[in-house]
Chains A and B, each alone.
Chain A
Amino acid sequence: MASAPAIKTEKYGEFLVAVTNGNPGLNLPQRMGKALWFPMFLMAIIAFPVALILGIVRASAVSDGDASTAFALAHVTTGVMFIGFMGVFSAIVFAIARILGAFREGGGTVQTAAGRRVLTLVMPNTAKAMVVLMMMGMMMLLAGIVAEFALAAVGSGAITDGDNALLQTTQSWSAWITGLRRFGNTTYLLSIAFGLYTIVNVIRLQSKRIRELGDEPALNAG
């Protein structure tokens, strides 16, 4: 569906809105949300069981006293698990963007069907915060995931070679990366909170608009 360009922005009550003569269509984050929520979901739903299986294999290595394999699998398991978390948190944010897109497109089509001006909320700062925080969370988790795989390779080699100094270095990095991953998770949650907060304000605007739509003169009323 072709999107109508904004004619101007104006204040509508407390809301800053863009005025168009038709459906404004999806903005970039909403288009990304529409395209990416499912691939991210798929990545997550595959990663979680794989990580669980790796954990079970690691339990066997721990029971057998195979320190090198146990060390490597500990980090690989965490890496795969957090591929899942990165996927699922991203999918949630993209799905929220999709909901915001549904409100935007739906509001546009309803106002068009009513023959009135189309007013759409200009992207609020809370929506921008959602996008920025999501990117920050993703970068933190991605760095953590890459580091986990590197630590698996370096640390297991250090155990095999009996290089205690190198092993100590990997353990130190592991502690820091663990903190980074946890912080990344919470950053994602804050992003989700901002996305949902934006939905609340979109619903507030639409409640006002639908109530007052019939009182506004139609565009073709002469």
Chain B
Amino acid sequence: MAVQGGTVRPGSVLRPPMAADFLAKATHARIGIVLAAIGIMVAMVSFIGSTVNAANIADDGAGGTTVAAYNAWTFGISTAGLAFAKLGIALILWGIVRRLWIRVESTKVGLAKLVPYVDGKGDPAGLSGTNPYLSVTVTRTAPDAYPIHKMAFKLWSPMLVMGAMLVTAGVVFSLIEAAAGADGNTADFLTYSALAQGTEFFGEALLLAGISLLLGSILGSLRQGGGEVQESLGLAVKTPIMPGTAKLFVALMAIGLMGAMLQFVLYLFVAGEDNPATISAWFAWLGPLREASLGLMLSGIVLALATIGTKVLPFQFLRIQEMIRNGK
């Protein structure tokens, strides 16, 4: 169980036990790097396939069965390479969430020795609410997690699992498409082409959703962890209010995911079409739709990272300095 009552509990999937070794090796991150490296090797296979395909086209033209088969499997394999890399990134992000919680425990231990005692240290009235990076609340105890953080704590792993399954299914479709292309079976080739594109890109979108929710978990953990540290020292708690960049991150993720769902449904519809001319017209705009959907989700990820790097972390470091200097 990752969360209980909306907070991340020690000993859960996202948070090691409080007594965890703060110098333990970064296992998640190491496996993540290996997965990303496998991704680049798979992408290299696809690139070599595309190079051979280019030679085939130069020799025999673009209309042959061999070219159709190569187009199909290089697409499928290259998308699988991207999926491996994204899963690797997700694993590293999971490791970051766990590391942040270990950092929280270390910060509690370290600041207990550094923060001087002052009278009235736990009184919110004695603490300024101004901050150059974020709007903050000042309370006696840490506030509850935002609903979006609670959602992130719970949903990141199902998204990743579903994404990986759909990409795998899409790779299988692309291999069937390649076989149909090699046999000159145009009807099956077009059907499986639609299925492969729609399924693989919906899978990629779910993987990005999992990554986005892990970033949401990082933001939620920074917020909850910051509150825990301040409470453990008996101080009033300064907590960031969700900034505009974080809200826009959620909006872009949602719009991108809806676009990915739409393209998936439309590709399923096109898979049932018979007329090659009609299918070509659908493919002409469904391709950009599926890519733009992923692009918007990636744009949301930029904003999540920017929120961490330009707002939340600078706020936390400033708050730690304030505690060390003023004792409250």
Give which listed residue, A48, A101, A169, A182, contacts B47 with CB less than 8 A: A182
User: Residue of B at shortest CB range from A140?
Assistant: B47
Name the interface size band of chain A: 35 or more
Q: Are A179 and B74 in contact (CB under 8 A)?
A: yes
Q: Which of these, A44, A56, A183, A215, contacts B44 with CB under 8 Å?
A: A183
Closest Cβ of chain B: how far from A88's Cβ, in Å? Answer: 4
Q: 8 Å CB contacts to A: which residues of B281-323? A: 281-282, 284-285, 287-289, 291-292, 295-296, 298-299, 301-303, 305-306, 308-310, 313-314, 316-318, 320-321
**A109 CB within 8 Å of chain B:** yes
A193 to B206, CA, bound (A): 18
Expressed in whole angstroms, the Cα–Cα distance for A113 and B318 within the complex equals 10
Q: Is A18 on the interface with B (CB-CB < 8 A)?
A: no
Query: Which residues of B sit under 8 angstroms from A55, Cβ to Cβ?
Result: 284-285, 287-289
The count of A-to-B residue pairs whose CB atoms sit within 8 angstroms is 267
Residue on A nearest B99 in the bound complex, by CB: A203
B317: chain A residues at CB < 8 Å are 102, 105-107, 109-110
User: B32 is contacted by which of A14, A92, A114, A197 (Cβ under 8 Å)?
Assistant: A197
Instruction: Check: B86 CB closer than 8 A to any chain A CB.
Output: yes
Q: Interface readout for B53-87 with A: 1 if CB under 8 Å, 0 if not?
A: 11101100110000100110010001001100110
CB distance from A31 to the nearest CB of B (A): 13
Number of chain B interface residues as a range:
35 or more
Q: With A200-B92, A204-B99 as known contacts, state yes or no: A62 contacts B106, CB within 8 Å.
A: no
- Listed in ascending order, the chain B residues whose CB lies under 8 Å from chain A are 22-23, 26, 28-29, 32-33, 36-37, 39-40, 42-44, 46-51, 53-55, 57-58, 61-62, 67, 70-71, 74, 78, 81-82, 85-86, 88-89, 92-93, 95-96, 99-100, 102-103, 106-107, 109-114, 277, 280-282, 284-285, 287-289, 291-292, 295-296, 298-299, 301-303, 305-306, 308-310, 313-314, 316-318, 320-321, 324-325
